[in-house]
Chains A and B, each alone.
Chain A
Amino acid sequence: ETGVTQTPRHLVMGMTNKKSLKCEQHLGHNAMYWYKQSAKKPLELMFVYSLEERVENNSVPSRFSPECPNSSHLFLHLHTLQPEDSALYLCASSQDRGGTGSPLHFGNGTRLTVT
């Protein structure tokens, strides 16, 4: 496996379900990200794990919960989602050198539909 791998590619869940999205990077990077992409909206930064810090967008609802057990793996735990949470969820990684942003390498995304 190379690059950034996300599973599953597609997910349909009800509002009362609990599910998790998984991301794995094989690039040796030290930072991982979750972005949300909704139709006709910019990519929205949700969470960053970089140099063992966690940075989060304060506007992200608590029904989204990230977990980063190591620099290669990232999860997004989902519970009691709303239909407006339906979107493409993109994982990315980068080599954070501190002080200067580095290019992101994206996975193929998980298309989430909440019914």
Chain B
Amino acid sequence: QKEVEQNSGPLSVPEGAIASLNCTYSDRGSQSFFWYRQYSGKSPELIMSIYSNGDKEDGRFTAQLNKASQYVSLLIRDSQPSDSATYLCAVNLRSSASKIIFGSGTRLSIRP
């Protein structure tokens, strides 16, 4: 079982709709969860971090965490063409808080 799993996509969403990205992780002791956005040819940039169960909202982005189900998601409201990118889920390992492991990413495409 992979430590962090994401659907590779591509996920195609019409402009203005809600994009929903999902991630599952295997280490039940993980405490820190991150979503990064990566444009082609660029390095990843942090969108959201979440540490507690529930929802965390920041502008058009909402991260949702369910530790019991080992599931974290990212919702993007009012999707814009500029949101087209690969979204990476990252999780720290219980064995070492510094070990942050990434999923393979979901490619999101917003169609006008």
Contacts and interface: CB of A to CB of B under 8 A. Distances in A.
B43 A48 contact: no
Given A42-B4, A43-B44, A43-B88, A99 B102 contact: no
A2 B48 CA distance: 21
A102 B32 contact: yes
Interface in A81-104: 90, 94, 96, 98-104
Contact of B99 (A40, A55, A100): A55
Contact residues of A: prevailing secondary structure: loop
Give the size category of A's interface with B: 20 to 34
Nearest to A99: B97
Interface in A27-85: 31, 33, 35, 40-43, 45, 48, 50, 53, 55
B92 interface: yes
